[in-house]
Chains A and B, each alone.
Chain A
Amino acid sequence: MTTPSSPHSNGQHSNGQHAGSGPLGAAPRIGALLDRNIVHTAGRSVRHLVITIDAPLDQTAASRPRLPLNLGLVIDASGSMSGRPLEAAKAAALGVVDALQESDHLSLVSFATSAQSHACNVRMDAAGKAAVREAIRPLIHRDSTDLAAGWLLGCEGIAERLAAAQGVERNQCILLSDGHANRGECDPAVLAQHAHQLRVRGVLTSTVGIGIGYSPTQLQAIAEAAGGRMHDAEQPEEIVEIVLAELAETLSTTVENLELCLQLPEGVVAEVYGTTPATATGRQLDLIVGALRSGASRRVVVKLTFPAGSAGARLPIGVAARWKTPGEEGLHTSQALAVEALFGSAADCQAQPRPTDTTQRVAEQWQAHIQHRGLALNQDGAGEAASEFVRQELEHFRSYCHGLPEGDRLTDLLERFLHTIHRRYDPVAAKEMLFSSYKLSRSEADLRRRKRSSTEEFLRTEEAKANQGQPPQEPRRP
């Protein structure tokens, strides 16, 4: 499985491989390569493993009935949702009911101080749709936010249907929330653990954050560990648009539950860029990629720090994937790919060329990673730590980007973060920039139609505030 490579043949096709398995067109195409494959014998060389996943196109979707959908819709009905947000969420729910087919089933849950089931496994025939519409209309806001209770109750409706269903269906929960969970289980790590357990048991969850006050930490933890997607709907009118777009993405998903398994050589230290959940067990690293819609591409970049070794010795890195194809019972596993690093002298390391395209992709993911981590620290009130983190990363990032077509732009962006990130950003700006880096790191589209300010524009505003001596943003009190 190993591709022979000469010391300097580190191009895209010489130290990378592609694999796919299963019926033609039904398996994702997986590729793996290193940005440079020679590592210094003295150790501490940093290289990037770039894994690309291309989901298959569903070319027969239009000519056959789609898979039945077993959907759970979970709506935040806490006090802060009163008024337009809740009305928009109800409108979204009514839109979902209209969009479902007779073979689909819907569970509807709202949550506030406690969770309430309004419809459980209702078949979406005419009578079922009418009953659910009747259940949606009187939905009113209540007090605090027990997000976990609502989400898990929604998943329970899906799980009941999953246990009883004769055939194979898509089992998906969509969770809408505008607030920080402040009741029940709130720890993102625990929520992620439940999401993980439900995902491996066949129930996926996507989340929609509403307004600017939601907790991306909790919603992101759930969506990522549950193999779903996280969306943002700042304005009430966007809720309908986003929920229906998520429904369309769910129905066009051709790869579910995709996980990558990396086998690393002894002594190699790995760090995943972006927010992809990763679990290290000995020399094995498992990454949860989640669901991919028809034709989508996803890129995962893993930073590898190599140990010392003897010149000419090879370090094989194994990459395998497993995933579920909607409509099938089993999990598929790809053939393992092998990518090799090779120990060489300092001169060998210096002489090896860098494939520009791959290096550019790494730089984009790295920049998104720094931005996301720095912003998270900024919003946690750790401005100095955010500043120090960006400064340390920039030292290496700057030299990595040297000579890249987009290198100056990416470096300049981080320089601007460095000069402002010690002050707490405006929450709207921070949320938008966090969301943008999140989507970039996952190669996902922003489903919102309304145009947003760019990260550069938000930074310009923050720079102006700093120059005018305006006090930094006070932390929000959820």
Chain B
Amino acid sequence: MEPEAFTLQDLATHTGVEPRTIRSYVEKGILPGPESLGRGARYTRDTLDRLRVFLLIRDTFRDVSVDQARLHLQALTPAQIRNLAAGKGKVATLLGPQNSAVKEQHKGDALAYLRGLKPSSEHALFSRTPGKESAGTFPPKHTDPTDQQPLLEQASRALATLAGLASSGRGLRGENWYRIRLTQDIELSVRGDFAPDQLAQFHRIGDALRTLLTKGTPK
């Protein structure tokens, strides 16, 4: 039986995919990020399952691009992903015979999204109340603030430093946006022109924020 936590190298060994490729899949939002940071960063079984299914999709639909395969993966439910990763069922059956049409999200998703924006204690729809979170932003659930404070502070300090860099180097072409996807619905957006080492620092911040967000997700 396989373990439930994996290093980046474990994922590479299990799937034959280069670690740097796996990391790029995380950055593109194809795979969830690790649960912890640093050299011993651990990924969940869900990441391994998604990676396996992603590879199956690319094997099944030979001409599909990475982006198209991402859309296919997003169209599958968690149960379907678990089954496909375990060798139960076929990608082609679930995603249909043609690879030109990817199923959209469920019809009720727009309603769920809108209702999720409403502050439950307020009757004034979607209005921002001073001192409260703005519409559409949520604190991570089930998190221990004392546990996360150093990481938050670290990310905050790094962001402040980079914000200074961003504003000083922005100039008139400051409309360039660099976006790092953290989860399916959350991204880190920074405006400016950056050197590779600055971008690498943003990615490290992205990893930290991703960890904070995924750690709070109920299992």
Interface, chain A (partner B; CB < 8 A): 21-22, 114-115, 146, 148-149, 152-153, 155-156, 158-160, 162-163, 165, 171, 183-185, 187, 189-190, 193-194, 197-198, 200-203, 261, 263, 271, 278-282, 284, 286, 318, 320, 322, 324, 328-333, 335-336, 373, 385, 388-389, 392
Q: Is the CB of B179 within 8 A of A279?
A: yes
- Tell whether A281 pairs with B126 under 8 Å between CB atoms, given A163-B107, A202-B107, A202-B110: no
Q: Is the CB of B125 within 8 A of A159?
A: no
Q: Which of B159-203 contact A (CB under 8 A)?
A: 172-173, 175-181, 185, 187, 189
Listed A/B pairs (7) with beta-carbon separation below 8 Å: A149-B124, A171-B110, A185-B128, A202-B110, A280-B177, A330-B104, A336-B65
Residues on B with C-beta less than 8 A from A328 are: 101
- Tell whether A389 pairs with B172 under 8 Å between CB atoms, given A162-B111, A194-B117, A329-B104: yes
A162–B117 Cα distance when bound, in Å, is 18
Q: Is the CB of A114 within 8 A of B65?
A: no
A284–B71 Cα distance when bound, in Å, is 14
Q: Is the CB of B172 within 8 A of A392?
A: yes
Q: Is the CB of A149 within 8 A of B126?
A: yes
Which residue of chain B has its CB nearest to the CB of A262?
A: B67
Contact of B110 among A146, A198, A281 (CB under 8 A): A198
Residues on B with C-beta less than 8 A from A282 are: 24, 27-28
Contact of A279 among B101, B117, B125, B177 (CB under 8 A): B177
Q: Is the CB of B127 within 8 A of A149?
A: yes
Give the Cβ gap from B137 to chain A, nearest Cβ, in Å. 8
Residues on B with C-beta less than 8 A from A203 are: 110
Residues on A with C-beta less than 8 A from B117 are: 152, 194
Give the Cβ gap from B37 to chain A, nearest Cβ, in Å. 20
Residues on A with C-beta less than 8 A from B108 are: 159, 162-163
Query: B68 near A: Cβ within 8 Å?
Result: yes
Q: Is the CB of B100 within 8 A of A332?
A: yes
Interface, chain B (partner A; CB < 8 A): 24, 27-29, 63, 65-68, 71, 99-105, 107-111, 113-115, 117, 124-128, 134-136, 172-173, 175-181, 185, 187, 189
Which residue of chain A has its CB nearest to the CB of B178?
A: A280
Q: Is the CB of B107 within 8 A of A333?
A: no
Q: Which of A171, A203, A281, A392 has the most CB of B within 10 A?
A: A281
Give the Cβ gap from B108 to chain A, nearest Cβ, in Å. 4
- Tell whether A201 pairs with B127 under 8 Å between CB atoms, given A152-B117, A261-B65, A333-B71: no
Which residue of chain A has its CB nearest to the CB of B24?
A: A282
A250–B54 Cα distance when bound, in Å, is 36
Q: Is the CB of B110 within 8 A of A190?
A: no
Give the Cβ gap from A285 to chain B, nearest Cβ, in Å. 10
Give the Cβ gap from B57 to chain A, nearest Cβ, in Å. 13
Residues on B with C-beta less than 8 A from A189 are: 189
Q: Is the CB of A333 within 8 A of B126?
A: no
Contact of B71 among A155, A165, A331 (CB under 8 A): A331
A152–B124 Cα distance when bound, in Å, is 12
Give the Cβ gap from A427 to chain B, nearest Cβ, in Å. 22
Q: Is the CB of B27 within 8 A of A115?
A: no
Give the Cβ gap from B152 to chain A, nearest Cβ, in Å. 21
Give the Cβ gap from B161 to chain A, nearest Cβ, in Å. 21
Q: Is the CB of B111 within 8 A of A114?
A: no
A197–B28 Cα distance when bound, in Å, is 18
A-B contact count (CB 8 A): 146
Residues on B with C-beta less than 8 A from A156 are: 111, 114-115
Residues on A with C-beta less than 8 A from B67 are: 261, 263, 284, 286, 320
- Tell whether A388 pairs with B172 under 8 Å between CB atoms, given A201-B113, A261-B65, A279-B177: yes
Residues on B with C-beta less than 8 A from A332 are: 100-101
Contact of B179 among A165, A280, A388 (CB under 8 A): A280
Q: Which of B111, B124, B173, B179 has the most CB of A within 10 A?
A: B111
Give the Cβ gap from A212 to chain B, nearest Cβ, in Å. 25
Residues on B with C-beta less than 8 A from A330 are: 101-104
- Tell whether A202 pairs with B104 under 8 Å between CB atoms, given A156-B111, A284-B28: yes
Q: Is the CB of B107 within 8 A of A155?
A: no
Q: Is the CB of B110 within 8 A of A155?
A: yes
Which residue of chain A has its CB nearest to the CB of B117?
A: A152
Give the Cβ gap from B117 to chain A, nearest Cβ, in Å. 7
Residues on A with C-beta less than 8 A from B29 are: 281
Q: Is the CB of B128 within 8 A of A184?
A: yes
Which residue of chain B has its CB nearest to the CB of A153?
A: B125
Give the Cβ gap from A478 to chain B, nearest Cβ, in Å. 17
Residues on B with C-beta less than 8 A from A284 are: 28, 66-67
Q: Is the CB of B110 within 8 A of A152?
A: no
Contact of B136 among A115, A194, A278, A331 (CB under 8 A): A194
Q: Is the CB of A152 within 8 A of B68?
A: no
Give the Cβ gap from B65 to chain A, nearest Cβ, in Å. 6
Residues on A with C-beta less than 8 A from B27 are: 281-282
Give the Cβ gap from B90 to chain A, nearest Cβ, in Å. 19
Which residue of chain B has its CB nearest to the CB of A148?
A: B126
Residues on B with C-beta less than 8 A from A162 are: 107-108, 110-111
Q: Is the CB of B28 within 8 A of A160?
A: no
Q: Is the CB of A146 within 8 A of B127?
A: yes
A284–B102 Cα distance when bound, in Å, is 20
Residues on A with C-beta less than 8 A from B172 are: 385, 388-389, 392
Contact of B68 among A146, A185, A333, A388 (CB under 8 A): A333
Which residue of chain A has its CB nearest to the CB of B111?
A: A159
Closest 6 pairs between A and B when the two form their complex, measured CB to CB: A330-B101, A201-B110, A159-B110, A159-B111, A163-B108, A389-B172
Query: 9 extra interchain contacts, Cβ-Cβ under 8 A, other than A279-B179, A281-B29?
Result: A115-B125, A149-B124, A158-B110, A160-B111, A162-B108, A201-B109, A202-B109, A329-B103, A336-B63
Give the Cβ gap from A417 to chain B, nearest Cβ, in Å. 14
Q: Which of B105, B107, B124, B175 has the most CB of A within 10 A?
A: B107
Which residue of chain A has its CB nearest to the CB of B115?
A: A156
Q: Is the CB of A163 within 8 A of B100?
A: no
Q: Is the CB of A324 within 8 A of B104?
A: yes
Q: Is the CB of B127 within 8 A of A184?
A: yes
A389–B68 Cα distance when bound, in Å, is 38
